[in-house]
A and B are shown apart, each in its own frame.
Chain A
Amino acid sequence: MARGAGSRWRLLAGLALPLLLAAALAGWALQARWHRDALARALLRTYPQDIDANPALVRFADEEAKPLFARNCAVCHGAQMQGNPLIGAPALVGGHWLWGNGSVFQIERILLYGIRSGQPQALNVTEMPAFGLMGRLTAGQVHELVQYLMKLNHRPYDAETANAGQTLFYSQLYGCYDCHGTDARGEADYGAPNLTANYWNNGGSEQDIYDSIFYGRHRVMPAWQGRLSLEQIRALAVYLHGLSHGSAQGSVQGSAERG
């Protein structure tokens, strides 16, 4: 009898130990899950402009966003976020924002509704007209404008041609300054880029710039509402905002490697 009772206790102990271990693991996972959910809720409940003040939320958003970026965004913007001039996908590092100033709120709006995506709330008030294709400027005039832009960006240029381009830039007939500003520094409300920063979404060679003016640009950013959750969109917005303002956790290289 004693031997039978002893083996029964050994059996019970042998079963109870893995059970306790499993319960402890489950408890730990549950706690981690609750903590993550609490952070996710806090991320969404906090006003976008206030998130920067909470490092725990920023860290959480960064960790959530890195794999999301690799899966959904890197195909256009590049794994290193360097952009792709062939499709006009801008680099997301460097702090150059075509629309708005790169706040969490503005990035989130773009992610939610896109740019020229066909969504009624998308950013779609303007596009770069095809001045050459439409016959509003001749090839020669486009060339003159390109030389003026070279001059504005402190690159080699032909002075006489650039002067002619400057006249065109400020001509009421063509109205380049109307969108890009009288100082050519762009207008973020219209998505008109700064033409003095030597930073070009569609390529910065003379031929690329010529093509932008002659053929125009009408780039589309899809709307992600419905494809990504609100939490994922907010996390990406915080992450991209952090990268462009130098506060995101981990390097771009790191994010690409993780993805």
Chain B
Amino acid sequence: MAVPHTSMHPVTSASRRSRRLLPQLSRWASPAQRRVALPVVGMISGLLVAGIGLFHHAARDLTQVPPGYVALVNQQGVLMSDFISQTATETEEPFTQTTAAQRAHVLHEMIDKELLVQRALALDLPETTEEVRTTMADAVDAQAAAPTQAVQPTEAQLRAYYNAHRDRYSSQGTMTVLNLVLHVGGYQNADQTVAQAQADAVEAVYQLRSGAAVSYVMEHFGLVDASPQYDSQQLDFAAKLHLGAQLYQVATMLGSGEVSDPIVQNDGVHVLVMQQRQPAAVEDFPNARAQVYNDYRIALTDQAARQNLKFLRSQAQILLAPGQSE
């Protein structure tokens, strides 16, 4: 029997099929048969649901130790593999040769440690303790960098790195320098002006360059030795710290035995006497290659760590308080 078409909407093929099926069902099954069929359909559906439930992975039962673990400490497992490894390490014997008492002792210690770690997490040590944070951050960096070390650099890559960072491969220069100061209005002449002090310094420089003894010139012109107490050779970076940028710049231009021109600074007029000078020298590639190799690999590690952080930042939501910047 055809179902009269009453809808004004277009009839789809699916709706046409269902309309053909309903009369067929009513012909196939009597009302009594349909009364049986419905519970059966329900049973099949129930079986299907039960089957899916049975074969679906159930949540882990944490009231007993899962396979592969030797203990469960507050739901946190102690791996069998770690236990075997730890037992062998502590007893210095193969695991198979360890006694039950030794194994029990090691397991006791591992459970203690797990409890302490859990307590540390409860105390929020990763957020509050700098040492823990540093260790965690270093561990993440190490994991990010591990793949970068797998490929050895080529000779060309090392040379390119050396050429790009040549300044890193300089040997440190050394100097032994006297820093003499003529304080303006010093103890010898309270009315001295800067111009007068400068003129005295010029004369002192002249005498020093002419070979006069440093001690004589110091005494005659009232110069004070402002060098560090120990009169020894200093690496360039140390000399820079002691002299300050301006005097250090002048000092690096002096050779052994040379005397600088007077240099006016806030505390007086300085004269530098370079007693011994060994300038910095750039190491050539063959001599520096071991260091270049190490530096290159460290640079790869740093690059991996930066890329990892870039990724983490791209995934993170970072909010800064008003007025803050990073």
Contact = CB atoms under 8 A, between A and B. Distances in A.
Binding partners A and B? yes
A130 B95 contact: no
A23 B139 CA distance: 53
B50 to A, nearest CB: 8
A220 B150 contact: yes
Interface in A186-201: none
B40 A220 contact: no
A230 B82 CA distance: 12
Contacts of A44: 66-68, 80
Contacts of A118: 139, 142-146
Interface string A47-86: 1110000000000000000000000000000000000000
Given A118-B146, A135-B290, A12 B36 contact: yes
Name the prevailing secondary structure of the A interface residues.
helix
B43 A19 contact: yes
Contacts of B143: 117-119
A26 B316 CA distance: 47
B152 A216 contact: yes
A130 B33 contact: no
Given A4-B30, A48-B84, A133 B155 contact: yes
A30 B44 CA distance: 17
Contacts of B44: 19, 22
B47 interface: yes
Given A130-B152, A217-B152, A47 B80 contact: yes
A215 B151 CA distance: 10
B36 A105 contact: no
B8 interface: no
Contacts of A8: 32-33, 36
Contacts of B169: none
Interface stretch (A108-116, A146-154, A158-166, A239-247): A108-116
B21 to A, nearest CB: 18
B192 interface: no
A231 interface: yes
Nearest to A108: B81
Nearest to B153: A133
A118 B286 CA distance: 31
A165 to B, nearest CB: 21
B150 A218 contact: yes
A136 interface: yes
Interface string A196-240: 000000000000000000011111100000000011001000000
Contacts of A30: 54-55
B286 A135 contact: yes
B154 to A, nearest CB: 8
Interface string A3-41: 010011001100100010011001001100100000011
Contacts of B150: 116, 218-220
Contact of A117 (B32, B80, B81, B146): B146
A1 to B, nearest CB: 11
A156 interface: no
B139 A120 contact: yes
Interface string A81-110: 000000000000000000000000100110
Contacts of A155: none
A15 B80 contact: no
5 contacts: A33-B54, A116-B146, A134-B289, A134-B293, A230-B79
Given A22-B44, A44-B80, 11 more contacts: A7-B30, A19-B43, A23-B47, A33-B55, A45-B68, A105-B95, A112-B79, A116-B149, A134-B289, A218-B152, A231-B68
> Closest 8 A-B residue pairs measured CB to CB?
A44-B67, A118-B146, A118-B143, A44-B68, A230-B68, A135-B289, A220-B150, A215-B152
